[in-house]
Amino acid sequence: MRPTFSAEPYQQKKMKYIQTKNIHFRIPEEKDTELIQHLLSECNLPYQDIDLAKQYFIVAENEGKIIGCCGFEAYGENGLFRSLAVDTNYRNLRIGRLLTDKITNFASEMGIRAFYLLTTTAGSYFIKQGWNETDRMDVPMEISRTTEFLIICPATATCMMCHLEPVSK
């Protein structure tokens, strides 16, 4: 008996591939704040303190819809990496990696030399990207005094850091 073949999973993968060809990355405008907050909420990430006037973000967009975001807060040569989120319909397409690369390059151009983050769910993802676990006590004071460190993330969250390569001019 010949095995049956369902084209449905293939069609779904093909549709995702086609959609990725239309993904654009940009710096969001103030009017995008609620859309970013909604995406973060859908991904169970903190969103209440998102303020595009104080944080730097890059968004991924498909057909006018924000499908991913990534941001950081700058504190001298250190940055608080935060809010990497990708819509569930667009995961496993390297969008998260592209967002991370773009925000890292942007931060490096601004003079950021190290990123710090807190996570309760994505530690293994960031380790694969070259981040290292670090003790919260070793985090620069200006990072440890952020809302994310003091209020939003639990004390049990994994603390990580990543050195950024300086940009040659």
Instruction: Look up the CATH number of the domain holding residue 80.
Output: 3.40.630.30
**pLDDT tier at 169 (50, 70, 90 boundaries)?**
low
Q: How many domains does the chain have?
A: 1
Is 3 a member of any domain?
no
Q: Is residue 107 part of a domain?
A: yes
Classify residue 144 by burial, with Cβ atoms within 10 Å: 0-12, 13-18, 19+: middle
pLDDT at 22 (0 to 100): 86
Asked if residue 1 is part of any domain, the answer here is no
Q: Is residue 92 part of a domain?
A: yes
pLDDT band, very low/low/confident/very high, at 2 (cuts 50, 70, 90): very low
Confidence of residue 85 (pLDDT cuts 50, 70, 90): very high
User: Is residue 169 assigned to a domain?
Assistant: no
Q: Is 168 inside any structural domain?
A: no
Q: What pLDDT band is residue 11 in, cutting at 50, 70 and 90?
A: low
Host domain of residue 25: 8-163
Per-residue pLDDT, averaged over 4-31, amounts to: 68
Classify residue 2: in a domain, yes or no.
Answer: no
Confidence of residue 20 (pLDDT cuts 50, 70, 90): low
